[in-house]
Chains A and B, each alone.
Chain A
Amino acid sequence: MFPEGSDKDSREIEKRTLIREIINFFSLTGFIYGPLDERLKIREAFEEQLKKPVPHYRTWIENNLLGCLGGLSFVLFILLLISGILLLMYYRPTTGEAYQSVVEISNVVTLGWLVRGVHFWAGNLMVITVTLHLLKVLITGAYKPPRDFNWLTGVILFLLTLLFAFSGYLLPWSQISYWATTIGTETFGTVPFVGESLKSFIRGGPDVSQITLTRFFALHVVILPLIAFLFLGLHFAMIRRQGISEPL
């Protein structure tokens, strides 16, 4: 009915939906967004993103419990990112002050107990949700081609999550974190031939010391997040490209 390429006409006959109403509300009131949209077509791109196909799960368990584990992990990751940045504003990564600064965050800083609690619990829960996500993909066979490469990035993200948890555990420099890291790094010593040198390479010395704390801190707040961003980007791009695998 309308000639091709006439955007204005086709937009007028778009169906009104709740999502579109919300987008319209922001595009009308946003004085920065409004003029930008003509140039960047943000609205179009945003709507495109909202047209994400969702598999037709048949049961409540599939839909509400198993289908959300990946997204839940990502929500926890965002929570960890925000609360982690906030914790960085007070944390001091030295053997002399690390424990004291953590106690200060919990007991002295306004709402510090909340920020640290969110970081602690989101970190613990993320290990659980990522593990369940991995098991669900494994058991339902969703890792099969063409999604085999995405399964690979997922396994890498699982290992990254465990490394996040392991390195973050040392940072309060309490008795339990010190000895847990001593035991955790001690296990590398059992690798044949290279074990001892591998152990001291990870610790940055013969035993868990300031260098270990510095290295684990760098790992936890810089190195691992950068790698995680890379693999999260790949993971999500492939999911959007290939779609979520449909149940049989």
Chain B
Amino acid sequence: MKLTRRSLFGWLLGGSLIAFFGNLLWEVGKYLSPPPELIARGGGGGKQLVIPIADLPPERSKVVRYGGKLVIVVRKGNQVYALSAVCTHLGCIVHWKDKGEPGMKMGDNLHCACHDAFFDLKTGKVLGGPAPQPLQTFPVKVTPDQIVIGEA
């Protein structure tokens, strides 16, 4: 193609317009991508997550965000367990038999309501259902007034 004055100005105009609107789209994309402060909201910034013991009464469970992941913390008697709350089958959130919740077929284990997968509360091992892998477990330390998840 022969470069004429007309086509040169055509390219310059087109290039400027593409640069202008491309930059505009880029800035809108920057606005739309969630900032790290918002992603990390709800804890999980540090290595350890501290939950006041009053927030988790005995025989109850709680799903928290720790290290960017959802973790289910279960207080059974005097023992506290922390496991990944994301079912390894298709990513639903597992639950535990909280007080007053009937219909758990397999005792005190973790259950995924989506496709009936069961996990061992202590080890995260698969006890039944379609889940291909066990749930990840996290170390827990219990002090008289705090539950600490993770190691320092």
A interface, CB within 8 angstroms of B: 25, 28-29, 86, 89, 104, 108-112, 115
Query: With A25-B10, A25-B14, A29-B10 in contact, is A110–B30 under 8 Å at CB?
Result: yes
Q: Residue of A at shortest CB range from B27?
A: A111
> How many residues in B have their beta carbons less than 8 Å from beta carbons of A?
13
Distance (whole angstroms) from the CB of B114 to the closest CB of chain A:
27
Contact between A29 and B32 (Cβ–Cβ < 8 Å)? no
Are A104 and B38 in contact (CB-based, < 8 A)? yes
Residue of B nearest to A82 (CB): B28
A104-B31 Cα distance, complex, nearest whole Å: 12
Set of chain A residues within 8 Å of B30, measured between Cβ atoms: 110-111
Task: Give chain B nearest CB distance to A184 CB in angstroms.
Answer: 31
Closest to B33 in A: A110
Say yes or no: A110 contacts B28, CB within 8 Å. no
Cα distance A89–B13 in the bound complex, in angstroms? 33
Q: A25-B13, A109-B34 are in contact. List 20 more A-B contacts (CB 8 A).
A: A25-B10, A25-B14, A28-B10, A29-B14, A86-B28, A86-B32, A89-B31, A104-B37, A104-B38, A108-B35, A108-B37, A108-B38, A109-B38, A110-B30, A110-B31, A110-B33, A110-B35, A111-B27, A111-B31, A115-B31
Residue of B with least CB distance to A115? B31
Cα distance, A109 to B34, chains bound together (Å): 7
The 7 A-B residue pairs whose C-beta atoms are closest, nearest first, are A110-B30, A111-B31, A108-B37, A108-B35, A110-B31, A25-B10, A109-B35
